[in-house]
Amino acid sequence: MFRRPLCLLPTACLLTARLSTLPALRSKPLPPRPRPPPDADIQESFLKGSGPGGQKINKTNSAVQLKHIPTGIVVKSQATRSRSQNRKHARELLAQKLDDLLHGDQSRSSIVGEVRRKKAASAAKKSRRKYRKLDPQGEAAKHHDEQPEPEQPPHKPHGSGQTPQEPVMENTEPPHRNRQP
């Protein structure tokens, strides 16, 4: 006998599992990336690079220095060996610095920093919670590096009727340092 399917549409009967590789949506989106200031407000100069990168970096004028004339903010970029990429990077840095100056705590970089701090704090809290569950005595908060102090017998004064014990000699020599000849 032929049995009818429970669903009227065959595609509606299929169960599909969807995995998303996108990060979870934030309740409040980040502010847009700041735009670089107009070229009329920027003084641009090209400098020789320095630091790691060899002779090529030291000989070419690929480093970019931008000065925002109204505020006097100076930014230098030497991220790559390419002058055009360094120009782009320097303009992004200058836009970020201006955004920080104008908006303060409401700037994109401070909001991103706050989000990162919250994520790190959440991860640390989850880790503490996990190890608290694993350790039944609740000693997860104690540092395992600390060694328990050895128990010492109670101190008795010399006049208690017992003979005094010999004094314990402590090592008074300075610690040996690793010296190479």
| Residue pLDDT, tens place only, 30-53 | 878 888 888 899 999 999 888 877
21-45 burial string, b = 16+ CB within 10 Å, else e?
A: eeeeeeeeeeeeebebbeeeebeee
Lowest mean pLDDT: which of 122-126, 127-131, 135-139, 166-170?
166-170
Q: What is the pLDDT of residue 146?
A: 54
pTM: 0.54
Which residues form the domain of 58? 42-130
Q: Mean pLDDT of all residues in the chain?
A: 76
Query: 95 lies in a domain?
Result: yes
Task: State how far the Cα of 89 lies from the Cα of 101, in Å rounded to an integer.
Answer: 18
- The phi, psi pair for 146, rounded to 5°, reads -75, 135
Q: If you average pLDDT over residues 58-86, what whole number do you get? A: 92
Q: What is the CATH number of the domain that holds 102?
A: 3.30.160
Alpha helices in 66-144 (DSSP H): 83-103, 108-134
Query: 29 lies in a domain?
Result: no
State how many domains the chain has: 1
% of the chain exceeding 90 in pLDDT: 30
pLDDT higher than 90, residue 84: yes
Q: What is the pLDDT of residue 56?
A: 81
Query: 100 lies in a domain?
Result: yes
Query: 137 lies in a domain?
Result: no
Confidence bin at 140 (pLDDT 50/70/90)? very low
Task: State how far the Cα of 84 lies from the Cα of 111, in Å rounded to an integer.
Answer: 29
- The phi, psi pair for 103, rounded to 5°, reads -105, -15
pLDDT higher than 50, residue 105: yes
Cα separation values, 90 from 13, 44, 129, 137, 178, Å: 55, 10, 43, 54, 48
Question: Residue 123, Cβ neighbours under 10 Å: how many?
Answer: 10
| Residue pLDDT, tens place only, 148-172 | 555 665 555 555 555 555 555 555 5
Lowest mean pLDDT: which of 53-57, 92-96, 123-127, 133-137?
133-137
